[in-house]
Structure 1
Amino acid sequence: MTFRIAVVQPICHRPGTDVANVADAARAIARAADEGAQFVCFPETYPGPWRMPATFDPTAAMVEAAAKHKTHVVFGTIAPIDAAAATAYNLICMAYPDGRAPARYRRTHPNGPWIYTGGPAWEFQWVPGDEFPVFDTAHGKVGLAMCSEVYMPEVARALALRGAELIFMPAGKDKHKLWATWRALIWARAIENLAIVVTTQNLFDHSERGLAMVASPEEILFESTIAGTTVVDVSLERVRYLRATRDEVGSSAVCAAKQGLLGPQWQRPELYDRIYPRPLREAAE
């Protein structure tokens, strides 16, 4: 079964005027739905807000737009914890076509709170989450992650082992010298987890280089560095085949990715506790 994903790489209103992103996002959802999109993927922190104290919450508007246009909407926001301490979770959410409460993923990596303070865009004391939820949809099982978690293969692997076939990993902003490695890792996460991986990012102006991408285990289905919305046709049939079958001596003649990577032919979980000792987590300074 084929379905359509609209990958939105927007020109984003900067912190301070970012509430305007909410109306822009609603219009983008309407346009994507007109093109038959069953999923619309926005970047991390889009529509926003970027900073604490949070001056708006886009969740109700995104849920309403998803229900109105009968599509799933992946979007980014923050969840305030303590206004005085400026603490918040960083969320990737997925609104549903039926208007139910959205799925939520709280960013888990790296250790907080340093990553979202002291820069020109984000400003809040980030509190990491500790769960890797996977969500059922009519099209397949969805996992949510974000941004530089692509550099932590454990995140996407945790989602895949829990059944995620379609992983949305939207990112924040211009990657500068990280661009090439980031691009390589998006595809790597698709290859090693036998999943479809989707990313996009915010652009503050047209001079910035984006990274919007849809990667399958065997090929890159779409990528773009410029602002805009592209609707990509996707099927999970090949993902399911690669997961369900075994790697054989002659498999490379017909498969461009290794089969069965998540199953007992390849996995040796009895070894993995030796790799990762279990110290108590401490926040990074």
Structure 2
Amino acid sequence: MRTAVIQLNSRNNPAENLATVEHFLDRAAAMGAQFASLPEFWTYLGPYAGFDEAAQTIPGPTIERLQEKARKHKMIVHGGSIVERVSTMPGKFHNTSVLIDRAGEIIAQYRKIHLFDVDLANGEKHYESERIVPGNEIVTAEVDGVTFGLTVCYDLRFPELYRSLALRGAQIVLVPSGFTLHTGRDHWEVLLRARAIENLCYVIAPAQVGKYPPDRQCFGRSMIIDPWGLVLAQAQDMPTVIMAEIDLEHIASARAQIPCLSNRRPEVYDL
């Protein structure tokens, strides 16, 4: 499966961000992509105060535009994540990922479980829980015979979630992200490759790159990683599309060589 990962520098203008994404989806399709994946918060990346205006519904006009692209190009589209309005909780939102099949149907939705509440040594403070309500459901979905596992950004630091996805049959795990420059340069590649190696699956990690309002910066370096932990493609420090071929037989081969999923001893550890 020819796979495209789209790296963006989203800002606080949803209309402009959508136009950019549509351009890159068309470009990915022209490059032969059968599957395309977007980063975290691609519709709006800016101050939490702007969530009220930028929030979307699912289904809704923005996701419908992705559905149209999926139908037009007969391409599976992973809608990264967006700010989803919580209808029962005014002023609160979900960080929600959407998977769309080639027919333009929404196959799965995942709401980010682990929220990014941190005080970094460089002075950055992020309190995602001020506006975001966490999800409580682990999500896998099968499309065209491929089982996808859905996660978002900070989830990457919780290996138990990824092991749960692998045990539920995930062959490709999606990690739309907006890692900070401060954490990304030391942790991003290490964590992604570890999750792939531990679970012997592909890891698809589209990322935000560059500065965004008010005065923050994302690391970028979107990646496609195989079940052996090898980086098949990596983006440079700019909005772009990277491509790689996903070979599902490689998953079976890796798991046959190192059967760590079947060699587990869950009766010994309390996880």
TM-score tier (shorter): 0.7 to 0.9
Question: Residues 57-136 of structure 1 correspond to what in structure 2 (within 5 A)?
Answer: 57=56, 58-75=62-79, 76-82=81-87, 85-110=90-115, 114=117, 125-136=131-142
Across the aligned residues of Structure 1 and Structure 2, the Cα RMSD in angstroms comes to: 2.6
Aligned residue pair count: 251
Q: Kindly state the Cα deviation for residue 194 of structure 1 after the two structures are TM-superposed.
A: 0.4
Give secondary structure in 2 for the equivalent of 1:109: coil
Give secondary structure in 2 for the equivalent of 1:158: helix
Q: Kindly state the Cα deviation for residue 139 of structure 1 after the two structures are TM-superposed.
A: 5.0
- Deviating beyond 6 angstroms after TM superposition, the runs of 4 or more aligned structure 1 residues are 118-123
Residue pair 1:107, 1:146 contacting (<8 A) in 2 also: yes
Whether 1:267 and 2:264 are equivalent positions in the alignment is yes
Q: Kindly state the Cα deviation for residue 18 of structure 1 after the two structures are TM-superposed.
A: 2.7
Select 1:27's aligned residue among 23, 28, 33.
23
For normalisation by structure 1, the TM-score amounts to 0.79
Residue pair 1:70, 1:98 contacting (<8 A) in 2 also: yes
Percent same amino acid among aligned pairs?
28
* Alpha-carbon separation, structure 1, partners of 2:264 and 2:129: 40
User: How has the CA–CA distance of structure 1 residues 270 and 180 changed in structure 2, closer, same or farther, with 3 Å as cutoff?
Assistant: same
> Quick one: which amino acid aligns to residue 3 of structure 2?
I
Give secondary structure in 2 for the equivalent of 1:23: helix
User: How has the CA–CA distance of structure 1 residues 19 and 56 changed in structure 2, closer, same or farther, with 3 Å as cutoff?
Assistant: farther
Q: Which has the larger radius of gyration?
A: 1
Q: Which residue in the other structure is 1:212 paired with?
A: 222
User: How has the CA–CA distance of structure 1 residues 184 and 230 changed in structure 2, closer, same or farther, with 3 Å as cutoff?
Assistant: same
> Quick one: which amino acid aligns to residue 73 of structure 2?
H
* Alpha-carbon separation, structure 2, partners of 1:185 and 1:49: 23
Whether 1:42 and 2:48 are equivalent positions in the alignment is no
User: How has the CA–CA distance of structure 1 residues 271 and 19 changed in structure 2, closer, same or farther, with 3 Å as cutoff?
Assistant: farther
* Alpha-carbon separation, structure 2, partners of 1:209 and 1:108: 22
Select 1:170's aligned residue among 171, 176, 180.
176
* Alpha-carbon separation, structure 1, partners of 2:173 and 2:97: 11
Q: Which residue in the other structure is 2:243 paired with?
A: 231
**Unpaired segments ≥5 residues, structure 2:** 57-61, 119-123
CA deviations 1:185-219 (Å, max 9, x no partner) are: 10000000000001121124599642211111322
For normalisation by structure 2, the TM-score amounts to 0.83
Q: Kindly state the Cα deviation for residue 84 of structure 1 after the two structures are TM-superposed.
A: 6.6
Residue pair 1:52, 1:124 contacting (<8 A) in 2 also: no
Select 1:6's aligned residue among 4, 7, 11.
4
* Alpha-carbon separation, structure 2, partners of 1:215 and 1:242: 13
Q: Which residue in the other structure is 2:150 paired with?
A: 144
